[in-house]
Amino acid sequence: MIWLFFFILAQQDEIVSENLDTVSVSMDFERSVSKYNSIDRDDSRPMFEDIVATLEAKPALGDEDQFILRESLKFLGVITYPAETRRYFEKLVRVDPGYNMGAQKLSPKIVKIFDDLKLEMVGQLRVGISDATEKSGLLLTDATLKIDGKFIGLLQGDTTFEVLAGAHKLEITKPNFDPYVKDIVVQANKTTTINGVVYRNSSELVFMTVPTGVKIFFDGVGQGTTQGSAPITYSDSLMRSGITPSQASDLFAVNGVAPGKYQLRFEKPCFKTKLIEVEVTQNERRTYQPVTMEPVYSFIDVATAAGDAAGIVYLNDERIGSLPIKAFQTCPGEFTLKVQFTDGQFIKHVVLEEGQTTRVSAEPLPSIVWFGVKEEGVQAPDENIDRWLKDLKSWNVSLVDPNNTRLVQHDPFDLLFNESRTASDSALSLDRSLNADLYVAARVVRRNVVIRYLEVAFWTPLSKKIRVYSIDFREIEKFKELMNSIDGPLPLTHSWIGARTAKVLAVNGVKVLEVSPSGPLAGLAVNGDLITSIDGKLINHPAQLMSLVAGKATNVEINGTSVSVVPLETIAELPYDPASLCPQAVVARLEKLGKYASSPLIKQSATFNRARYQFFLGDFKQAFDTFSDAKFRLDYDYGINQGSLYFYQGLCFRRLDLNAEARNAFGEASKYPEGTLFDAYGPKVAFWAEAQIQQL
């Protein structure tokens, strides 16, 4: 046990030592200064000494480290006065010969010790360097001065530095110039003057941009972004061009340019990219006229297929107005468009092109309230089920704490897992407070002694029925598959070529059995014809016709003659398969699509299919209301049409034990000879309606 303790301790030490960085030195320094300012000033000495020792051991010091070192040496000199003051100040001067103690609130005696030391140890170095080719002899600025390889400062014309007395190697560098190197001897309390010339070895291209913040690329290679504002010396020339200095950037230099031809590219969001070709023939400093960027715009229209729906529109979380948005001006680029409707959100990633108007039809996504997994003595599966919910793309998912009594007045698990599998009045009140399209909760049960199950309940306020899926822990991925299935595209339409066909044994192609008088093949084919190829591809099965693309002209070879046919997009029934596709979720999604889909056909199909799903769920009244809604009409001469609606009306009547009404509805359905069920390739609704009448 003891060894374990020491092991942990050793591990901790190791961790502490690894973390000894500038931050910890800085904290030590603050503590030391505090101690220094207290009545226990002397106790701060070992603390400062530790800091000095630590920093002296480091191979390189940053600005903050150097500051702490200088100040620590200063404090040590003060604390050890008079005995060791000189020793610490000597160190301080070596660290920074330019250090000035005069302005500090220290005893004049102590300051004098420091100043005297500087007189003994430090001399002045006055440096001026000019361009050898510059006839005016103007001294260079912004050249870097190093003494013995250590950075001392930047030259600004004729510049003086304080340097330790003694022999040194001086090095002056500046982009586009050969370095200036010289051995020098600096005498204490004396000024040593260096005047030299440097020779240009490459060109320097200097730009200024209007506005600032422009990215510059030199032959495709990023050089940086212009910043700041124009130097005051350029004010007059800028003003003459109608530009204020604050509109323009500071000078931006591209250095090291050898003679040749180059392309410069200037980029800034919301501005047109500018290209400039330059040719450099000799090494020089070339300053260009300000590069003025031309602003560009893009526009976005946001509307919804449900014209009267209210919604607030956000672009990258910035509110830009309420629906409908017309020609909103912004700069080109990628944005997240969000529309907040009263009954849902619409979120879409949009790319706005320069000068173009992007039109978006917003449809709100249905919402899910997820109450999580309830455990009662049995542990939930390890999988991150919350994540599975959050990853849904076609839904807005809210994770609601079932214990949040402000939002949830009734235990949702009691409501969703009741034995009748029917939504109670309490469930409806839950919906009033949360106002979601779908409610989902899960609980862990041990239905068998050894096998755990996850029961997942789904309920939409659009149906009375609650569906509970029971998923064996060993097949828990099935829950993920279930969630993915409600997230995927819903095939609400289908292409249709306008004929029924069949494959006959030992016959090439498919035989035409029936041609719809209102379909794309009307007048082009008759019963008994053979379709042998589609767009040059041999066809040998009727299912191949199902995969044609609606609206796309297609070459169909009929009895050896090629004709162009455009398949129609038609309404399709969504298969009702509760085992693999949760009907409650589908109803919730179809409700939104029926209101907001941009395509009228999708809207019709969504409404029709939502009512179908309600019918299959046993919500006959709700289904009937849609099938018999005078405003909802499917006025097509083919496929799922008004006849199909009458057929479903009849089925609702039958389920409601209203046989006379059912007979009438089926009678109406039989008046639509081209109406179908399932999809336009499905069985004739008239034929099925007659079969239903015979059953009554």
> Which chain residues interact with other proteins by CB under 8 A?
448-450, 500-507, 511, 513-514, 528, 541-543, 545-546, 575-577, 616, 677-678, 681-683, 687-688, 691, 694-695
Provide, rounded to whole angstroms, the least separation between the CB of residue 661 and other proteins.
20
Q: Tell me, what DSSP letter sits at residue 376?
A: S
Residue whose CB is less far from other proteins, 70 or 503:
503
Rounded to an integer, what is the distance from CA 512 to the centroid of its chain? Answer: 52
Residue whose CB is less far from other proteins, 392 or 521:
521
Residue whose CB is less far from other proteins, 504 or 549:
504
Provide, rounded to whole angstroms, the least separation between the CB of residue 565 and other proteins.
17
Q: Which helix (H) or strand (E) holds 493?
A: strand 493-496
**Rounded (10°) CA dihedral 78, 81, 87, 92:** 10
Provide, rounded to whole angstroms, the least separation between the CB of residue 541 and other proteins.
6
- What are the backbone dihedrals phi and psi of residue 272, each rounded to the nearest 5 degrees, phi first? -70, 135
Provide, rounded to whole angstroms, the least separation between the CB of residue 658 and other proteins.
19
Q: Are 404 and 414 in contact (CB under 8 A)?
A: no
Hey, what long-range contacts does 653-656 have (CB within 8 A, 24 or more apart)? 653/624, 654/692, 654/696, 655/615, 655/618, 655/620, 656/620, 656/621, 656/624
Q: Are 305 and 346 in contact (CB under 8 A)?
A: no
Residue whose CB is less far from other proteins, 407 or 693:
693
From CA 568, how far away is CA 551, in angstroms rounded? 6
> Letter for the amino acid at 73?
L
From CA 541, how far away is CA 555, in angstroms rounded? 17
Provide, rounded to whole angstroms, the least separation between the CB of residue 651 and other proteins.
9
- What are the backbone dihedrals phi and psi of residue 82, each rounded to the nearest 5 degrees, phi first? -100, -10
Provide, rounded to whole angstroms, the least separation between the CB of residue 507 and other proteins.
7
Provide, rounded to whole angstroms, the least separation between the CB of residue 352 and other proteins.
43
Provide, rounded to whole angstroms, the least separation between the CB of residue 612 and other proteins.
11
Q: Are 168 and 159 in contact (CB under 8 A)?
A: no
Residue whose CB is less far from other proteins, 500 or 595:
500
Q: Are 635 and 629 in contact (CB under 8 A)?
A: no
For 551, the 3-state DSSP assignment is coil
From CA 414, how far away is CA 449, in angstroms rounded? 23
C-alpha closest to that of 62 among 90, 26, 94, 34: 26
Residue whose CB is less far from other proteins, 179 or 618:
618
Provide, rounded to whole angstroms, the least separation between the CB of residue 556 and other proteins.
16
C-alpha closest to that of 454 among 369, 367, 383, 368: 383
CA distances, 148 to each of 124, 140, 184, 187, 237 (Å): 16, 21, 10, 16, 43
Provide, rounded to whole angstroms, the least separation between the CB of residue 663 and other proteins.
16
Alpha helices in 302-446 (DSSP H): 385-390, 412-416, 425-434
From CA 351, how far away is CA 333, in angstroms rounded? 6
Q: Which two tokens stand for residue 172?
A: 């002056």
Residue whose CB is less far from other proteins, 616 or 620:
616
Residue whose CB is less far from other proteins, 410 or 511:
511
Provide, rounded to whole angstroms, the least separation between the CB of residue 375 and other proteins.
21
Residue whose CB is less far from other proteins, 229 or 518:
518
Rounded to an integer, what is the distance from CA 608 to the centroid of its chain? Answer: 36
Provide, rounded to whole angstroms, the least separation between the CB of residue 547 and other proteins.
11
Q: Tell me, what DSSP letter sits at residue 394?
A: S
Residue whose CB is less far from other proteins, 286 or 503:
503
Provide, rounded to whole angstroms, the least separation between the CB of residue 653 and other proteins.
16
> Letter for the amino acid at 637?
D
CA distances, 55 to each of 52, 73, 146, 343, 373 (Å): 5, 11, 22, 63, 55
Residue whose CB is less far from other proteins, 186 or 574:
574
